[in-house]
Structure 1
Amino acid sequence: MTAVDDRGMTRFFEEFEPPEGIKIELLRGEVVMMAAPDLVHNRIVTAVQDQIPPQRWERLQTTDLDIANEASESVPDLLVLEPGVAPDSWRLLPSSLVTLVVEVVSKTSVDRDYGVKRSIYAAGGVPAYLIIDPVMAHCVLLTEPVGVGEEADYRAQRVTKFGAPLPLECLDVEVDTTDFGTYKAVRPHRYP
């Protein structure tokens, strides 16, 4: 039983119907609701998914992820796992089954994607976490998760600018970032 179950939040999430166009996540006990993403965001997610061979990898968008020992149920933009390891039907996918999680930064998710989700995915043992940032026009690949709880983090970090090839060794794939769009008139931030 996860910490989420101990607080009754799993039942809440199973029964709660957010308004149309709203995405809801539980991040370390905090309920976060977000509006539908920008077209730039959606096009990047699709471009990445299309470059990961479906014959070798299962690619799932907006699937609820159960993070072991965390009061969290995140909904990554894209997650990748080996074919056949996921159950046929289930609302929550255990983080232990996931090879790669992808989050595309939105105009309002910068701190969550670079901060709390980085720690949550590392605590859940997700081997690779890819942050794609249309604000700063770069990708940040985090690997080698260590630690537990809020102290968890990734030991390795590689930054790739949009336009350069993005090697994803965990999938044996190289992603072309040339056509990744950026947000216009958005203030830069301080992350990598």
Structure 2
Amino acid sequence: MWRATEMTAVDERGMTKYFEEIEPPEGVRVELLRGEIVMMAAPDLVHNRIVADVQDQIPRKPWERLQTTDLDIIDEASEPIPDLVVLERGVAPDSGNLVPSQMVTLVVEVVSKTSVDRDYGIKRSIYAAGKIPAYLIIDPIMAHCVLLTDPIGDGDQADYRGQWITKFGDPVLLELLGVELDTSEFGTLTGVRRHRLP
């Protein structure tokens, strides 16, 4: 059974080239996060149902909703794969495996027991560095959503200025999309140790 593992890169540029040549086993997702290669097992049903629920609530017009799409972050040795990427329909390239971060309106990550620190930490910084206007963290461990907006700063100093925490059951206003997200049917993970983030 695959578990999340990380390999630290000494040379980020060399690791980026190595990352491009990796062919992971079926069912394993691989991301490059600031020079570190992170391998993750396939997510569980709670995770997948939340992603599908969010996707269903975002209208197909004018929005394109893409699952597990690699992002190209300018000036970063990073190719994260958010659980959901939302961008205006018609702005993405016609083909290829990378979407430039400057085209993206919203990224969504659903927290798993092995991704807590990444989703709240390094990915928050990477998405802010990529100037993605909004980042939604959906946390079935803590039964809340964290909406981050207004990216500021560069590189590993980048962050989001705005932060709103909403408990499952209360709506989340995704103002940029003109959507009020219903969270009442989001499932929770049981038997997982609670944390104190964000």
Please classify the TM superposition score into its range, dividing by the shorter chain length: over 0.9
The offset of 1:15, in angstroms, is: 3.0
Structure 1: where are the runs of 5+ without partners? 1-5
Of 1, 5, 13, 1:7 maps to 13
Structure 1 Cα separation of the partners of residues 16 and 68 of structure 2: 17
Structure 2 Cα separation of the partners of residues 180 and 79 of structure 1: 19
Are 1:145 and 2:181 matched, yes or no? no
The offset of 1:139, in angstroms, is: 0.2
Per mean C-alpha deviation after superposition, the further-off stretch among 154-163 and 8-17 is 8-17
Of 181, 184, 197, 1:178 maps to 184
The offset of 1:7, in angstroms, is: 1.5
Identity across matched positions, percent: 74
Of 74, 82, 85, 2:80 maps to 74
Are 1:59 and 2:65 matched, yes or no? yes
Structure 2 Cα separation of the partners of residues 78 and 56 of structure 1: 16
- Count of residues in Structure 1 that have an aligned counterpart in Structure 2: 187
Structure 2 Cα separation of the partners of residues 92 and 7 of structure 1: 17
Is the Cα–Cα contact under 8 Å of residues 16 and 35 in structure 2 kept in the other structure?
no
Cα displacement string for residues 66-93 of structure 1 (whole angstroms, at most 9, x for unaligned residues)? 1111110000000000010011001111
Moved runs in structure 1, 4+ residues, more than 6 A?
none
Of 125, 131, 139, 2:131 maps to 125
Q: Tell me which amino acid in the other structure corresponds to 2:107.
A: V
Query: In the alignment, what sits opposite 2:194?
Result: 188
Structure 2 Cα separation of the partners of residues 9 and 172 of structure 1: 39
Of 133, 140, 143, 1:134 maps to 140
TM-score (norm 1): 0.95
Query: In the alignment, what sits opposite 1:3?
Result: none
SS in 1 for 2:30: strand
Structure 2 Cα separation of the partners of residues 22 and 95 of structure 1: 23
Please provide the CA RMSD for this pair.
Answer: 1.1
Q: Tell me which amino acid in the other structure corresponds to 1:187.
A: R
TM-score (norm 2): 0.92
Q: Tell me which amino acid in the other structure corresponds to 2:169.
A: G
Structure 2: where are the runs of 5+ without partners? 1-11
Q: Tell me which amino acid in the other structure corresponds to 1:61.
A: Q
Query: In the alignment, what sits opposite 2:8?
Result: none
